Amino acid sequence: DDDDDDDELSEDESKDIVHESKVALVTGGNQGLGYALVKGLCRSLPLGSTIYMGVRNFERGRKAVSELMSVGLIAEPILCDVSDDRSVKLCAEAIFKAKGSLDIVIHNAAARLNIRMPKHEQVTTFVNTNNLGTSRMTKYFTPIMGFGSHFIIIASSFGALSRLDKSKHHYFDFKKQTIEDIDKVMIDYIEDVKARVDDKKGWPEWINVPSKVGQVAIAKILAQDIRLIKNQVLVHAVCPGLIDTELSRAWFKDVSKAATPDQAAVDVLWLVQNRFKDGHGKLISKRRVLKWL
């Protein structure tokens, strides 16, 4: 009997330790905002936490992790190519096997738009990574989110529904649509762009807008998931604002007011540190809720 008591004690103690330390994953974690988020989590999470740097290229991940180690920060690279269903599934399975659950997922991985390439040539890769990639992350990671955890989708203020023509609003009605429905809308959108009929059908010129609206719609649908509500999982879509990166320099003439990735990461991590319940299922920028419509 005494032995049993000892076992119970050690179980309770281990629960306390598990409660204190956290398990986090940042996709697209080896550069830009993703790298800054990994760095910020390494610095702010309790001792004994595990921070996974989700990467598409394991070598690049290893290199980024060794850079962190040189300043005394520890993260683990893990393959998570969000454009590939199997890669996302295997990543979720590996983390579940190692840790049992996740406390923080920041889905930041995204395909970049090439300013010099016509949109019909890049829409498939762009939507597959940014939209279907977001759906894959929700499919495989929400079942392993722990109690009181966070699921954050890095989106943009371009994801406000008001940026789309009214004729398109019903496609993104989060009260009626499922994530599968949003995927279908985005796959049809790819076909419209490739056939060069997107403008005739009332889609905006820039493929980033429908793509971001689709991502925010997924966050809103996810926030209504009974399973997640019972488990007190907070879901946020976040606009990190203009960040001074190679990508933004290609698109914007003046990036003098742009934040550094480290500066932009602070407001994203604030959501995790402060459990911003008012922002559940909302698009947030700089700690404030943005209007969807």
Are 271 and 233 in contact by the 8 Å Cβ rule? The answer is no
Write down the pLDDT at residue 250.
65
140 vs 14: which has the higher pLDDT: 140
At residue 284 the predicted structure's pLDDT band, cuts being 50, 70 and 90, is very high
Q: What is the mean pLDDT of residues 29-45?
A: 97
In sequence order, the β-bridge partners of residue 54 are 27, 78
At residue 244 the predicted structure's pLDDT band, cuts being 50, 70 and 90, is confident
Q: What is the mean pLDDT of residues 80-101?
A: 98
Q: What is the mean pLDDT of residues 184-194?
A: 98
| Superfamily of 16-287 according to CATH | NAD(P)-binding Rossmann-like Domain (3.40.50.720)
pLDDT at 34 over 60: yes
What's the CA gap between 111 and 207, in Å, rounded? 12
pLDDT at 47 over 60: yes
pLDDT at 38 over 80: yes
At residue 1 the predicted structure's pLDDT band, cuts being 50, 70 and 90, is very low
Write down the pLDDT at residue 198.
97
Write down the pLDDT at residue 243.
85
Write down the pLDDT at residue 53.
99
Q: What is the mean pLDDT of residues 73-100?
A: 98
Q: What is the mean pLDDT of residues 86-115?
A: 96
Q: Give the pLDDT confidence of 143-158 residue by residue, as tens digits.
A: 999 999 999 999 999 9
pLDDT at 252 over 90: no
Cβ atoms within 10 Å, residue 111: 19
What's the CA gap between 57 and 78, in Å, rounded? 9
Write down the pLDDT at residue 8.
38
pLDDT at 214 over 60: yes
At residue 246 the predicted structure's pLDDT band, cuts being 50, 70 and 90, is low
Q: What percent of the chain has pLDDT over 90?
A: 84
Averaged pLDDT score across all residues of the chain:
92
Which of 5-9, 246-250, 264-268 comes out lowest in average pLDDT?
Answer: 5-9
Domain positions in the chain: 16-287
Provide the whole-model pTM. 0.91
286 vs 243: which has the higher pLDDT: 286
